[in-house]
Amino acid sequence: MPLSVWAQGTEPGGMPVVGAGYFIQMFLGLGVVIAGIVALLWVLKRVNRIQGSVQGQLRVVAAVSLGTRERAILLQVGEEQILLGVAPGRVSRLHVLPQPLQSVPASDMAPGESFKARLAAALGGRARS
């Protein structure tokens, strides 16, 4: 094969010559892309952690299923507790508790006592059936 063909980087049939340098360049480029993706994920994780610091003030105290797709959720917001009704496409505030319910571990609850019963007692029997 003449030297001029190798200097142009093509074979006599017009096909480019692929050598070790091409593969090294390709793998280095791939490494740069993967490193960029990892760096971007790390930055997004850090940004989410900064925004997530507010989530320390919000806590789900308890939840109970009311139907196949409906739930009642007791949410702790700072010192206040809010009862929310959650259905597909809708979240409604049902009640703001004047006194927060105390979190009681399941082992300390009386036998048969449930979140539903504690909530009804806290609402003063105003729970709807």
pLDDT at 109: 54
pLDDT at 108: 57
pLDDT at 37: 96
pLDDT at 32: 96
Query: Which tokens in the block code for residue 25?
Result: 């360049």
3-state secondary structure of 111: coil
pLDDT at 121: 77
Q: Which residues of the chain have pLDDT under 50?
A: 5, 127
Q: Is-above-0.85 flag for pTM?
A: no
pLDDT at 8: 55
pLDDT at 58: 81
pLDDT at 20: 83
- Enumerate long-range contacts of 92-101, CB under 8 Å, 24 or more apart: 95/123, 97/122, 97/123, 100/76, 101/61, 101/62, 101/74
